Amino acid sequence: MARRFSSSVQLQKAMAPKTASKPPRERNEETIPWFRTELFCTSAVFLVALLLYCCTLAPTVTLTDSGELIVVAHGLGVAHPPGVPLWIMLAHLASLVPLGNVAVRINFSSALFAALASAMLTLVVAELIITASYLRKTKERGARNKRKTADSAVDPVLTFAPAVGAGLLMAFSRTLWSYATIAEVYTLNTLLILTVFFLMLRWRRCIVADQTNISSAITIHDSWLYAAALVFGLALGVHHVTVGLTLPALGVLVCRTEGLRFFTSRRLLYAALISIAALLAVYAYLPFAAWRSPVINWGNPRSLQEIWWHVTGRQYRVFLSFSPSMMGTQFFEFCRMLLREFGPAWLPLSLVLAFAGLRSAFRQDRTSFWFLLFIVMADLAYALSYEIAEDKDAYYLPTFISVAIAAGFGIRWLIQLNASKAMALQKTYWVAAAAVLLTSATAFAANWPFNDRRHYFIGGDYVENLLSTIEPNGLLLTQDWQVAGPMFYEQEVERRRTDVKVVDINLLRRSWYFDYLKRAHPGLVERSRDRIDPYVEDLKEWERDPGAFAQSQPLTQKISVAFLEMVRSIVTSEIRFAPVYLTNDVLAANQLNSYLTQWIPQTYQLIPEGLVFCLASDQSFHDSPDPHLQTRGLADGTIRFEKDDVVNLKVLPTYTSMLVNRGRYLALFNQDERAILAFKEALALNPGVAAAREGLAQSEAKLRKP
């Protein structure tokens, strides 16, 4: 009987789950070193990234959307669609810190979010690697020989080396680093996306770890799931497009973890309700802010319909196109961005590691492979059909995140490859350190010249150069967002030259902008009220039903004529009180302002003064002081710019073209010595300007004549 009883006990022990026989103390001893190493690695990545971003932080306002966003955050206003309410509230808190100017404070908030995002990506890769080690242990639990060799799944340092490598690679990447030094929403957006990934992967890791314990209820880990749902809802309050595009990947992760039964459970309903509640709570900011009538109240979203228009970005739908030729062009541009994202295009080391990592993930943890692949597929499906210019790289951030994670898998593959060769543990450490340092150093060295914005005064100097030419109470017409954006900041936050009436012609096609003009320049609105009010009524009708105007030629003609007559009234009314100026882009003919480009030169003489044209009623020579333009960082080599950077596409051509225009104007009235100076200044900024070389040669030839 004793022998039979002993055999029965042995049988019960053999059949018992492995985790059940493991003492709690032993499990804690395994978990604590991993937790400490994970915390140390994450903190190290965060501190390195934050220090780097602080060293390369822009000292003032920059171009594109930064000026508008700073004004909105400073005054708790409403930004352009989709409104980014969560970013506004957090950036407003940053603007209250009494250090530096307001622009620097909000720029620093971007640096903080980006550093946290890099640290969060480190945690994401760590979660995936730990989960992979659980899966391998499950497959090998039949084999009792636990090797004490250089197995990367046992040693904590080798386990988290790939996570550190991926985190640093993301920190030094071209796109995240570029947005970490300026006032923009994309670093917070990246942080929230990666936080959702981390929480969902921690949920999956807990489930995988307990799969051998049949007595555990899977739902005990759903607190991670619901936390992810909460963050997901909050993230939709920043840049909902890129956040929403991660849903297919998250669905794949849930399906491969819990099966299809999850999608018919109450747990999905609870998670959805949490996300919706967070979303509604964040976007409730929009009507509250609009009712306060802030400085910038874009779209004035007070009614449910206006809020819906704003959140869904109705005004930007014209940029969506599924034309094969357009998408092919966009794909070519994406490939070019991807090649330069993590290093020089001629050395795609990180991309090679990423492909190797995806191959490794497909073999060892197929869920991770499909998770990353669906992130890329969904992101590209949308981004390739969306045709915009300045911040297009931000729409590829989910793809860049996936590549960085895959590169982490590639580093792990290298470590495992060397460990499998029975290499000494110390040599395996060297392999891990070399892989991490080589990938991160490559990205750092390639991207530093483009992202070091310590001397980025281009936006502030651009505005200062414009304002220095304009006389008191002058009117400046522009349709260049690189002028209007920084000008918002300089006038509304720094309160510089608030007497200058800056009017963005493009924004005159938005009814909310007239509320801003009434507040900022009430005299201008009052003097042209007889033309402004009828146009605004037509404009509001168009905003309510643009389709009706598109289908009716008389309605389209009516609003077009009203717009042009209004602009003409503003010019003729204001020129009686002070000079009227316009930027060079206003004269560029297009379908929307062809009338203006004909009427202005036919009615007024265009006198080049600095970076603007001054309108004169006569055709005589109007002398003005030679401009002393501040061009810090523009062409002195302290900052490098890609060919598609807005500085090379718009700002630098404005400087050179206006200097050429001034040289031609002076030469026309036989002021050749001064004309030569203008042409030489243009060539100093860009030696390739043919018009400047031609004008210089002609003026020098005239001076050589007896």
Asked whether 593 and 624 are in contact (CB, 8 A), the reply is: no
Residues 6+ apart with CB under 8 A from 430: none
Q: Is the Cα torsion angle 324, 326, 332, 338 positive or negative in sign?
A: negative
Among 103-117, 151-165, 387-401, 580-594, name the most confident range: 103-117
Residues 411 and 162 sit within 8 Å (Cβ to Cβ): yes
Q: What average pLDDT does range 405-411 have in this prediction? A: 94
pLDDT in the model for residue 213: 53
Where residue 420 falls among pLDDT bands split at 50, 70, 90? low
Please, what's the b/e burial string for 343-374 (b: 16 or more CB within 10 A of its CB; e: otherwise)?
beeeebbbbebbbbbbebbeebbebbbbbbbb
Phi-psi region of 343 (alpha: psi -120 to 50; beta: other; left: phi over 0): left
Which run of H or E residues covers position 214?
none
List pLDDT tens digits, range 433-491. 888 999 999 999 999 999 999 999 999 999 999 999 999 999 999 999 999 999 999 99
Tokens 């602009």 found at: 567
pLDDT for 591:
62
Q: What is the per-residue pLDDT for 13?
A: 39
Task: Give CA–CA dist 354/331, Å, rounded.
Answer: 19
| pLDDT tens-digit map of 22-57 | 444 444 444 555 677 788 889 999 999 999 999 999
Stated pTM of the model: 0.90
* pLDDT per residue as tens digits for the range 434-445: 889 999 999 999
672: its two tokens: 């050749």
Share of the chain above pLDDT 70, in %: 89
Calculate the average pLDDT of the chain. 87
Tokens of 357: 């990592």
Q: What angle do the packed helices 553-574 and 594-603 form, to 10 degrees?
A: 30
| Pick from 171-180, 290-299, 547-556, 602-611: least confident | 547-556
Helices and strands (H and E) in the chain: how many: 30, 5
